[in-house]
Amino acid sequence: MQSKTKTIKEILEEREYEFLSPYATKCKESKGRKRKRNEVFEVRTEFQRDRDKILHSKSFRRLKHKTQVFLSPYNDHFRTRLTHTLEVSQIARTMARALRLNEDLTEAISLGHDLGHTPFGHCGEGTLDALLPNGFHHNVQSVRVVEILEDMNLCKETVDGILTHTWGYKPITPEAQIVQYADKIAYINHDIEDSVRAGIITEKDLPADCVKYFSSNQSTRLGKMITDVITNSQDKPNVSMSEEGWFYVTKLRTWMFDNVYLDPVAKAEEKKARNIIKSLFEYYTETLKAYYDENEIPQIVTDYISGMTDQYAIRRYLDLFIPAPLAEHANDDALLKKAVEKSV
């Protein structure tokens, strides 16, 4: 009797049991998707498939024009929401590999964690939060993006990790716990670098005890935070930092809020951004009253505005609220016309 040839997917799933930690989330043990799939040639595990679905989505592509900290930056070296996401993914994968956890699940969660973020960063998020009766949270919107707006049909573990990447939630997998730390480690470090580049702070301004503990060097500081998570989590069911490391990470984060995130220089343009979001929200809410039930409108408008890039939100605001001049013909039109007539 001829034995069945194993698919590439089945081989990869078996390797997970051979190599990964007993605490890692195995693909074969996934709680599955809302809808089953049918595919003849299986070459990817379920978590690899989730990663690819997110990577090829429209919402992922739009992250390249969404603010991280500095609004609509012209300087190409400042982070955007996309480059932040990629840095989170790199940090999370490094930790997952070192801890022998499921790197594919970790990457999928990392790439999808900010898909629901608004234009203009946390300024946009805060504006929508104030406009909606039940508030707005980008992690909840990210889940709405993958489950409803783009209907990616992801595994339950991936969706859970996207929802719980924000601190205060309790993930069901150690891979999602990794992303919680990777997100915080990434934005603290790259926001320091961007703030120094913007001239808002200098390395000498950072808290002396944090510099002493982590170093003032960007690479060294980042590496120590990552290493702390790894060494404190090896051969354990949960992922965590040391008590001392977490103390200084939290102190550095608090310092960044006081001196960068809420700094009047760094946030000088936020009043304009808030006005754009508020004006668009009010305009679309009023416009849709003729077409939808009043209870449906806030969510429809929220889905549309939160999916906008910075540039698209600005462009819609200009189209709707700024008078446009009549079309003007250049003076050289007549000259060109004469030139054409002469050549005939």
The neighbour count for residue 322, using CB atoms within 10 Å, is 7
pLDDT category at 261 given cuts 50, 70, 90 is confident
Q: Is the pLDDT of residue 340 over 70?
A: no
Contact 104, 156 (CB under 8 A): no
C-alpha to C-alpha distances, 113 to 101, 150, 161, 205, nearest whole angstrom: 18, 14, 8, 31
For the entire predicted model, the pTM comes to 0.92
Mean pLDDT of 315-320: 96
Domain boundaries, the chain: 47-268, 271-321
Name residue 169's beta-bridge partners: 167
Give me the pLDDT at residue 283, please: 97
- b/e burial code for range 203-219 (CB count within 10 A of at least 16 → b): eeebeeebbebbeeeee
Structure tokens at 124: 């946009």
pLDDT surpasses 90 at 193: yes
Q: How far apart are CA 36 and CA 105, in angstroms?
A: 18
pLDDT tens by residue, 13-38:
999 999 999 999 999 999 999 998 87
The CA-to-CA distance between both ends of the chain, in Å, stands at 85
Residues 6+ apart with CB under 8 A from 335: none
Q: What is the CATH number of domain 47-268?
A: 1.10.3210.10
- Ramachandran region, residue 15 (left: φ > 0; alpha: ψ -120 to 50; beta: rest): alpha
d(CA 264, CA 259): 9
Q: What's 290's DSSP letter?
A: G
Buried b (16+ CB within 10 A) or exposed e, 50-59: bbebbeebeb
Contact 143/34 with Cβ under 8 angstroms?
no
> Which of the four pLDDT bands, split at 50, 70 and 90, describes residue 332?
low
Q: Residue 292 is encoded by which pair of tokens? A: 């939808």
In the block, which residue shows the tokens 């069901």?
Answer: 172
72 pLDDT band (50/70/90 cuts)? low
Q: Is the pLDDT of residue 264 over 90?
A: no
DSSP 186-225: HHHHHHHHHHHHTTS--GGGS-HHHHHHH-SSHHHHHHHH
147/36 Cα distance (integer angstroms): 14
SS3 content of the chain, % helix, strand, coil (to 5): 65, 0, 35
Give me the phi and psi of 67, to 5 degrees please: -65, 140
For the chain, give the number of residues.
344
Tally of CB atoms within 10 A around 225: 24
Phi, psi of 80 (to 5 degrees): -115, 180
| pLDDT single digits (tens) 169-189 | 999 999 999 999 999 999 999
CA-wise closest residue to 266 among 274, 279, 257? 257
Which among 102, 105, 92 is positioned nearest to 184, based on CA atoms?
A: 92
What does the pLDDT read at residue 182? 98
pLDDT of residue 17: 98
Alpha helices for 72-137 (secondary structure H):
81-98, 103-112, 121-131
